[in-house]
């Protein structure tokens, strides 16, 4: 008599069909969650760890970020008479330790995550591409 205990009304399937129909008809809070990526981008969070940026005036070129970097991504190079970090984004694991250890709070991370490039050399971000000048408050 096992046949009599079977779900002959196909209740499980009908339940599932109702759920998917609700998705199709957008009943309740069921929005489209993906975005049309190259044309529109998802909003990044303020603490998102993307490509680095270095405050040109605050950085003292001490090299603490260089010694603390787990992948040896950062090297200190000379740029316009002063010393600044240079980041190899191809090796960086975006852990953010360099940001944490910076004594002058000069290093920070931007929301830029579109770092794909055509050569390994162009993945090395020198100070000319990393530096930014902080707006001085009057």
Partner 1 sequence: MWTGDIMTEIPNGYELIVFILKFIEIYDPINNVFKSFGLEYLLRIIIVLVEIAVLFVFILLTVMFLTWMERKVVAMVQARYGPMVTGPRGLLQPVMDGVKLIGKEDIIPAKADRWVFTLAPFLIFIPALLVFIPLPFGPSLIISDLNVGLLYIIAVSAISPIAILMAGWASNNKYSLMGAIRAVAQDISYTIPLALAAIAVVLLTGSLSTVEIVSAQSGTWFGFIPKWFIFLQPLGFILFLIASIAEMGRIPFDFQESESELVAGFFTEYSGMKFAMFFLAEYAHLFSVSAIVVTLFLGGWSIPFLNLIPVSLAVLVPLISLGVFLVKTYAIIFFAMWLRDTVPRMRIDQLLNIGWKIMIPLALLNLLATAILLTAGVF
Q: Interface residues with partner 1 (CB under 8 A)?
A: 13, 16-17, 19-21, 23-24, 30-34, 36
Q: Cβ closer to partner 1: 29 or 135?
A: 29
Q: Is 54 in contact with 107 (CB distance < 8 Å)? A: yes
DSSP tag of 15: H
Q: Cβ closer to partner 1: 22 or 78?
A: 22
Q: Is 73 in contact with 94 (CB distance < 8 Å)? A: no
Task: Give the shortest CB-21-to-partner 1 separation in angstroms.
Answer: 7
Q: Is 130 in contact with 55 (CB distance < 8 Å)? A: no
Distance CA 20, CA 24 (A): 6
Q: Is 127 in contact with 52 (CB distance < 8 Å)? A: no
Q: Cβ closer to partner 1: 10 or 93?
A: 10
Q: Cβ closer to partner 1: 12 or 46?
A: 12
Task: Give the shortest CB-41-to-partner 1 separation in angstroms.
Answer: 14
Task: Give the shortest CB-6-to-partner 1 separation in angstroms.
Answer: 9
Task: Give the shortest CB-28-to-partner 1 separation in angstroms.
Answer: 12
Pairing relation of β-strands 107-109 and 52-55? antiparallel
């Amino acid at each position: 008599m096992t046949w009599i205990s079977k779900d002959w009304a196909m209740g499980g399937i009908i339940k599932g069909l109702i759920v998917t129909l609700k998705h199709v008809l957008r009943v309740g809070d069921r929005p489209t969650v993906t975005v049309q990526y190259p044309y529109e981008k998802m909003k990044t969070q303020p603490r998102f760890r993307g490509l680095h940026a270095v405050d040109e005036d605050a950085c003292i070129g001490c090299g603490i970020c260089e010694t603390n970097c787990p992948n040896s991504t950062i090297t200190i190079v000379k740029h316009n008479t002063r010393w600044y970090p240079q980041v190899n984004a191809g090796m960086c694991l975006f852990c953010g330790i360099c940001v944490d250890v910076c004594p002058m709070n000069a290093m920070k991370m931007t929301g830029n995550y579109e770092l794909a490039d055509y050569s390994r050399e162009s993945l090395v971000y020198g100070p000319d591409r990393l530096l930014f000048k902080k707006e001085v408050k009057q």
